[in-house]
């Protein structure tokens, strides 16, 4: 009976690590959600495949992306923005599975942000060598909601800085099943991912997938 209870509530087994004020790392929080999460991801990617987008400056990102939810984050020569439709198909992005919302809500609540109701999920695919430079998540209209970031697959070095780009970031090793949550005083802190090292994860293969949940309105 105890094992069943733990399976229903992954936070019972997760450990909590403070990254900054309002920012926590929940180790192993995905837990029993893993199998359904991976299945749902495959369906989303089948409907809206990964693609490497271009920045306004014409640089092609090393990270491949797709989205699900009410809108998707896109970038091209016209700028960064959220769009209700996939620019490659002209169709709405795949709906966000209820399981995604449940996991994001539980993680946010465990981190001290109750009532999180994400309406978009950015899905990033990192292959060996891919990286994400230090940046702020600031394309949303309301910064009161936190960011919830789920890691699957190969381990990555997450860099979490401060309110200025020049602030020296701390480095955290993210493993399969870890979730990072930041909001409140840390909501606009600069963060990024160091170049992904080679490897082959037993579930996800030679890649890391990152699900980033946000509330954009």
Domain carrying residue 84 = 16-214
Per-residue exposure over 164-188, b if at least 16 CB sit within 10 Å of its own CB, e if not: eeeeebeebebebbbbbbbbeebbe
Q: How far apart are CA 94 and CA 45, in angstroms?
A: 9
Number of domains in the chain: 1
Residues contacting 33, CB < 8 A, separation 6+ = 10, 99, 103
And the tokens for 141? 């209209």
The whole model's pTM is what?
0.93
Per-residue exposure over 11-31, b if at least 16 CB sit within 10 Å of its own CB, e if not: beebeeeebeebbbbbeebbb
pLDDT of residue 77: 92
On whether residue 5 sits in a domain, the answer given is: no
Residue 44 pLDDT > 60: yes
**CATH number for 119:** 2.60.120.590
On whether residue 79 sits in a domain, the answer given is: yes
Span 105-158, pLDDT tens digits: 999 999 999 999 999 999 999 999 999 999 999 999 989 999 999 999 999 999
Give the number of C-alpha atoms closer than 13 A to the C-alpha of residue 211, restricted to the C-beta side: 31
Q: What is the mean pLDDT of residues 181-207?
A: 98
């Amino acid at each position: 009976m105890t094992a069943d209870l733990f399976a229903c509530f992954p936070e019972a087994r997760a450990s909590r690590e403070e990254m900054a004020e309002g920012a926590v790392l929940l180790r192993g929080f995905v837990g029993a959600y893993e199998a359904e999460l991976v299945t749902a991801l495959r369906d989303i990617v089948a409907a809206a495949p990964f693609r490497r987008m271009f920045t306004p400056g014409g640089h092609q990102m090393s990270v491949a992306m797709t989205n699900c939810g009410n809108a998707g984050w896109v970038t091209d020569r016209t700028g960064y923005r959220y769009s209700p439709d996939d620019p490659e198909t002209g169709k709405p992005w795949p709906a966000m599975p209820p399981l995604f919302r449940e996991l994001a809500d539980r993680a946010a609540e465990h981190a001290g942000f109750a009532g999180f109701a994400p309406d978009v999920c950015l899905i990033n695919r990192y292959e060996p060598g891919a990286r994400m430079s230090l940046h702020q998540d600031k394309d949303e209209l309301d910064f009161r909601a936190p960011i919830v970031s789920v890691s699957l697959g190969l381990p990555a070095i997450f860099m979490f800085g401060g309110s200025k780009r020049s602030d020296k970031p701390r480095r955290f090793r993210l493993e399969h099943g870890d979730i990072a949550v930041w909001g409140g005083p840390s909501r606009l802190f600069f963060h990024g991912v160091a170049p992904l090292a080679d490897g082959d994860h037993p579930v996800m293969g030679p890649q890391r997938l990152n699900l980033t949940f946000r509330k954009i309105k």
